Structures are given as structure tokens and as C-alpha cells.
Chain A
Amino acid sequence: MKNFTVLDLIDMDLKEHNSLNLRCIGGRKGLVREITVPELNRPGLALSGFFDNFAFQRIQIFGRGENAYLRKLEKEDNTRTLAEMFSYEFPCSIFTHNLQPTKDFTEISERMNCPMLSTDLTTSELTTRLVWALSNVFAPQKTIHGVLVEVYGIGVLITGRSGVGKSETALELIERGHRLVSDDVVEIKCVSGSVLMGSGANKVIGHHMEIRGLGIINIAHLYGVAAIRDKKQIQLVVELETWDPEKEYDRLGSHENTTELLGVSVPYLKIPVKPGRNVPILIETAAMNERLKKMGYHSAKEFNQNILKWLESESIRSVYSKKKSFR
């Protein structure tokens, strides 16, 4: 996990259509302060001078109540409590309802280089949105060597050893109208405990691909915006493997294999690659099959059910016709 600073928080908010509407109103020098925990704190007790168990690592939220208390402190000319509060290095303060902090508070924030942010949201609204945003930032994550593509709306992660043809397969899929999320390096985040979000690890790399023999190509420019996506939930993992004649491959697909990524199990297929096998079409079909399964139709199981029914009727028929012939 890279350092996540207050500046990153504002930056992230800007990118995500300002759902938090955060503005910095003071203490700009402290924007590099790091946010280390995804929780929030309302510093009511701290303001009243009680600092036991003060959760200073958290972002401090000032709503109407806290702001009113700040005004009371100013009226009483009490700067000691604020000084003590600022001796704990909390990441930043956020004022909701577009509230203006008191002069004392502004002064000390500037002096201690502690950023002050403001938003027009209500405290409860900000809390829900901010907790959600932060839990995404602090979600468990890892980077994986593979290609993430969206095929018929299904996020397919293609993995396999270097040189097995992941990028070429993805290129063919893009050519067939599917979308590239990330080539070579996929960053996976486990959002809200069960959803695996995959995205590119680095904005600089964007939607470039490296194809042996061609070099580096830019998918966004070659195929247009319709061929790319920034992130996508991973719903199927396909591992490409060089065909091994000694090995037994799944012929029925009635048994569902899964693999674990960050503790979440995802449907998993192993597709052997050899010249003449059109892997992109196999992946397209696998994705469509996955959609069917999601809709409650399992091709392999349904097929087997039909066979069972047919065998049953055949055996009844043969018993019946045997009886007849005895007469």
C-alpha cells in the first residue's frame, strides 16, 4: 500500500466526480500528511479537554455541534485545549455544512500545518460517503501478472506464464469488440469483502500493450474509447497453459472449479493452448457460458439431466417391450 495523503484524498474526490465536494480552506502545507486508517472521528470529547483514547490517527469531522463548541471555546478565550488537541498529529479536519472554523482554529491549523477541508454535505452524508471511499482505498489489494478484459460484460482475467500468448489473445478479443482493462499488470482490490475489482496499476501505462514483434501499442488510440475500461469486477479467471499431451483436461465442465484471489473464490478455467486452437473464441464462449450460469442455466448440468432422462425413458421402454414380447 502506497502512502495515502490528504492531497490524494482531494485528488481522488476530484476524479470521482466530486462526490465528497472537498475543498481545502487552510493549512495547505500539511496536505502531505498521511491518512493511515479508514475510520473517522468526531472530536467532541477531545474539544472538551478529554484526551484519553483520542483517536488522533483518524480524520476529524467537525459538524454543527463541534463547530458551535469551537465558538464557545473562542468566546471563553480558551486556546489551551486546541493547542493540546493539535499536539496530536491528526491527518486533517473536515468541516461539514460549509461551516467556517473559528479564527483560533484557523490560526493554529496554519501554524501546525494541519490541513482544514470543507464540504457542503451534511455530516451524516459525508460520513457515509467518506467511509465508503476510504474503505475502497484501504481494501486489501495485490498486483497480478495477467491481462484483464471485459468480454460480453464479464470481467475475464487471463493469466499464464510469460510467452503463452495472453496479450495476443487479449488483442484478438479487442479486435472482436471487447474491452481492455489492463495488460500485463493488474491491480486487484477486494471491495466490500466479496467483490474483486481489477484495474491498471499505473496511469502512465494506461491502455498500452506490449505485443512481441510489434512492440508497444496504444489500444485507446488504435481502437478508440469503446475498446477500453478503467476498472472491472473480475468474474472469471482463465489460465492459459501450453498443451501438455500427457495431461487430462476437463471435457465436460460439469464440475465447477474455482480459484482464490484475496480470499474470494472466482470461477476458474484452465485452457490449453496449441497452434490451431482459437483461444479468443474459447474465452468468448466461456464468458457467455458464465453469463448463462449467472442466469441460472448450467449447460453441462442441463445436458447431463437430459441424458439421464433419456436413459431412464429408454430403459422403461425396453422393460415394457420385453414384457410385451413374453406374451
Chain B
Amino acid sequence: MVEKKITIKNRAGIHARPAAMIVQLANKFESDIYFEKDNDRINGKSIMGIITLGAGYNTTLKIIAEGTDEEEALASIAKLFETKFEEE
């Protein structure tokens, strides 16, 4: 299991479009992917789950990946956050 803390850097936060991008990316990997905000942990392969987190600008999230391709999954998802979902 690998995990990484990230902060949301795009102004709009995670709305439907970024959520869909995350899910599409997460579904490419075999590993289970989770997001954690405060004490809520949700499945990273579910759009509704990610939107439920209500992650706005500057929220800190923890990405957790567990499985055969966990390192790769974690890196590419973190990269998606860093590039602000190609938004700004």
C-alpha cells in the first residue's frame, strides 16, 4: 500500500469534470484506489464518491493505492492533481 498527501490547486475544486478524469484514470489500474478527506474514505473509482468528498480549493486529500501497480497508479493520479486537471 502506498499513499500520498496532495492539495487541490485548481480554483474550482473537484467538480464533475475533474472527478470524471480521476475516475477514468483510476479505472485504468488494477489496484484499489481510495481518497481520504478528514475521516471519510471513498473509492477512487466512483465519480459520485469523489464528488461527495466536497473537495474545494486548497483542501488536502490523501491518495491511497493498493495492488500490483500501486506505485504507477499513485504517481499518475498525483500528477493529474498537480497539473490542475488541465484547467488553468
Q: Please list the residues of chain A having a beta carbon within 8 angstroms of any beta carbon in chain B.
A: 1-2, 143, 145, 162-163, 183-185, 201-202, 204-205, 208-210, 216
Interfacial chain B residues near A2, Cβ < 8 Å: 38
Q: Which 6 A-B pairs have the closest CB atoms?
A: A184-B48, A162-B45, A145-B43, A202-B52, A210-B47, A184-B46
| Cβ-defined contact, B49 with A185, below 8 A | yes
Interfacial chain A residues near B42, Cβ < 8 Å: 143, 145, 185
Interface residues of B in 38-57 (CB under 8 A from A): 38-43, 45-49, 51-52, 54
Q: How many residues in B have their beta carbons less than 8 Å from beta carbons of A?
A: 16
Interfacial chain B residues near A183, Cβ < 8 Å: 48
Q: Is the interface of B mostly helix, strand, loop or mixed?
A: mixed
Interfacial chain B residues near A209, Cβ < 8 Å: 48
* Closest residue on chain B to residue A201 by CB atoms: B52
Interfacial chain A residues near B47, Cβ < 8 Å: 184, 210, 216
> Is residue B21 within 8 Å, beta carbon to beta carbon, of the partner chain?
no
Highest count of chain B CB atoms <10 Å: which of A184, A204, A208, A209: A184
> Is residue B16 within 8 Å, beta carbon to beta carbon, of the partner chain?
yes
A162 to B27, CA, bound (A): 8
| Cβ-defined contact, A184 with B27, below 8 A | no
| Cβ-defined contact, B43 with A162, below 8 A | yes
Interfacial chain B residues near A163, Cβ < 8 Å: 27, 45
Distance between B65 CB and nearest chain A CB, rounded to angstroms: 14
* Closest residue on chain B to residue A182 by CB atoms: B48
| Cβ-defined contact, A1 with B43, below 8 A | no
* Closest residue on chain A to residue B41 by CB atoms: A143
Interfacial chain A residues near B27, Cβ < 8 Å: 162-163
* Closest residue on chain B to residue A209 by CB atoms: B48
- Asked, given contacts A162-B27, A202-B54, whether A143 binds B40 with beta carbons under 8 Å apart, the answer is yes
* Closest residue on chain B to residue A3 by CB atoms: B38
* Closest residue on chain A to residue B16 by CB atoms: A216
Which of B38, B46, B48, B54 contacts A208, CB < 8 Å? Answer: B48
Interfacial chain A residues near B40, Cβ < 8 Å: 143
A208 to B16, CA, bound (A): 12
Distance between B31 CB and nearest chain A CB, rounded to angstroms: 11
